[in-house]
């Protein structure tokens, strides 16, 4: 691998962007294909570029019809947890163990700095600003756990405006109905709100914070894998 190609790979990986390397297995020539540009030795036409980007989006490495090998590099999925509550203390390390990058947003510094969130990244800020910093994408799950509309609603609104692959909100059916009414007043449609899993988690009769965390993690993984080809 040439040094200039390697530098492009290292830069893309450091920024945690999905990209692909494309190698002509006959000549050894290589290119790096990112979301908005390409770099390298191969002359990639529009049809080939579309296939490579489709493979990148699907996280699907493999050999193309012309013999080129496409190696896809995808950043870890992320989980954004709003509310450093007891469920978050179980969910954050669980998600980390499952390979997610975990971010916890809560303006209450005492909650965030309690030392109970493992090595999850903490953002001590209101969800309005915290979600701007996170910028959820199609590899992001967003879970709100506070029961407080001042915290949950702005986070849900930001998630609904994003491509987050999973959105979940803790609360009873009655609480969720009130939440949907508030989101309707904010201008969101029924189709938008259908993206929210509420009450959050698979229905496994969970009672304890740890059990609820298991139900959430299972539902997030179910949705993540359902999105895969």
Stretches in the chain below the pLDDT threshold 50: 229
pLDDT confidence of residue 74: 83
pLDDT tens digits, residue range 171-211? 999 999 999 999 999 999 999 999 999 999 999 999 999 99
Distances (CA, A) of 224 to 34, 198, 215: 22, 17, 14
> Please, is 86 exposed, middle or buried when counting C-beta atoms within 10 Å of its C-beta (0-12, 13-18, 19+)?
middle
CATH classification of 78-226, choosing from 3.40.50.720, 3.40.50.1370, 3.30.420.40, 3.40.190.10?
3.40.50.720
Domain ranges across the chain: 3-73, 78-226
Helix 86-97 crosses helix 209-226 at what angle (to 10 degrees)?
40
Helices of type H across 35-189:
46-58, 86-97, 109-112, 127-134, 149-160, 173-185
Q: Can you give the pLDDT at residue 229?
A: 46
Cα–Cα nearest to 212, from 168, 148, 164, 174: 168
119-131 exposure pattern, b = at least 16 Cβ within 10 A, e = fewer: ebebbbbebbebb
| pTM of the full structure | 0.77
Given this model, what pLDDT does residue 227 score? 58
Confidence (pLDDT) at 57: 80
């Amino acid at each position: 691998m040439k040094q200039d190609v390697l530098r492009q790979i290292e830069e893309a990986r450091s920024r945690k962007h999905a990209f692909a390397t494309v190698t002509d297995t006959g000549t050894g020539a290589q290119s790096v294909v990112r979301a908005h540009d390409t770099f390298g030795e191969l002359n990639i036409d529009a049809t080939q570029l579309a296939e490579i980007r489709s493979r990148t989006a699907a996280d699907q490495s493999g050999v193309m019809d012309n013999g080129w090998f496409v190696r896809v590099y995808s950043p870890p999925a992320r989980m954004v947890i709003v509310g450093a509550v007891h469920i978050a203390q179980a969910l954050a390390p669980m998600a980390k163990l499952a390979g997610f990058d975990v971010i916890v947003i809560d303006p209450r510094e005492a909650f965030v700095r309690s030392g109970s969130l493992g090595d999850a990244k903490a953002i001590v800020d209101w969800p309005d600003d915290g979600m701007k910093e996170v910028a959820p994408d199609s590899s992001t799950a967003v879970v709100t756990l506070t029961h407080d509309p001042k915290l949950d609603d702005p986070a849900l609104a930001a998630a609904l405006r994003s491509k987050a692959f999973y959105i979940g909100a803790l609360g009873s059916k009655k609480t969720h109905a009130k939440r949907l009414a508030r989101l309707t007043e904010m201008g969101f449609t029924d189709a938008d709100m259908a993206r929210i899993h509420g009450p959050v988690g698979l229905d496994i009769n969970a009672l304890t914070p740890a059990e609820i965390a298991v139900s959430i993690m299972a539902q997030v993984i179910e949705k993540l894998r359902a999105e895969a080809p």
